[in-house]
Structure 1
Amino acid sequence: MCIPEMNNRAAERLAFEVQLRHALERQEFVVYYQAKVNVANRKLIGAEALIRWNHPQSGLLYPGNFIGIAEESGLIVPIGQWVMEEVCRQNQAWLRSGLDCVPISVNLSAVQFRNKSLVNSLRRLLQETGLPPELLEVELTESCIIQGSESMIETLQNLKRLGLHLSIDDF
């Protein structure tokens, strides 16, 4: 691999990272909700929050196009915080409008899960929005759980103490 090609890739990655920062500032992210249905009785039992990036030039981008760079750059933490805020606000709005609400699950990456302010941030968010904690589910990837450090176990226990549902994604 030649140096100019490596420089081009590094420049493209940096430009994409800058675009991600701008996307957060310009509110270009959007959350879609995928229903979780009990197939036996066809009842809605929950939903999963799925982030998309409404990119000004490229259109709607799926997480596979940007989450990796967001994790590497540390932007996954503020992006993840935005998703949590959006989900809590939306579910609380549905609750206030009289709808029967179901838990909404939000995926957390290993980077987000290791963030020391995660539990306090979620506690504050639940207090600010007034969303009952049982209406928020935190999904962790299998790789997060496998690491199994004491701080990870403590974080899981603290999330459970908040009253949140916990689940393992990609298991």
Structure 2
Amino acid sequence: MADTTESPAANCMTKLKSYVRTQKGTILAAEIVLSLIILICYAASLYSGYSSVAIVELVFAILFMVIFMMELDKQIQFISWPWSDLLRAAIGSLLYLITSLICLIGGAGDGARIAGGVFGLLAGILFGYDAYLTYMGIKSTRQHSAAPTGEA
């Protein structure tokens, strides 16, 4: 057994604090907070059917934050984590933009639905920014080397 004076919960909190200080951690934390606000707005609305998008994106953002925070992406290598994160962020951006526009266009008289739509637009922009940064990270890690020709 490892003889440590620090409890596992304290170790997890220190990892969380240090990860949230990174750019990716800050973006994921903001995505979680915005998704929670949107979920509350849509749940208070007369038409609470749009809350499923917020629930799914909230769960996926929490899942990816835990995976990246605990560095499980380095241990589980049969999944391409950057491409999975890109797909998550791109789909989240599209879904938030579509549902937000629907809520803003048809939400007359329902303040919670309009508020959810406004926050959804902000979340769509944030998820799109996350997808852009992830794509640029994938693009920069690719190494284009010349194919060997066999000639000396």
Greater helix proportion = 2
Greater Rg, structure 1 or structure 2? 2
TM-score when normalising by structure 1 = 0.28
Greater strand proportion = 1
TM-score when normalising by structure 2 = 0.31
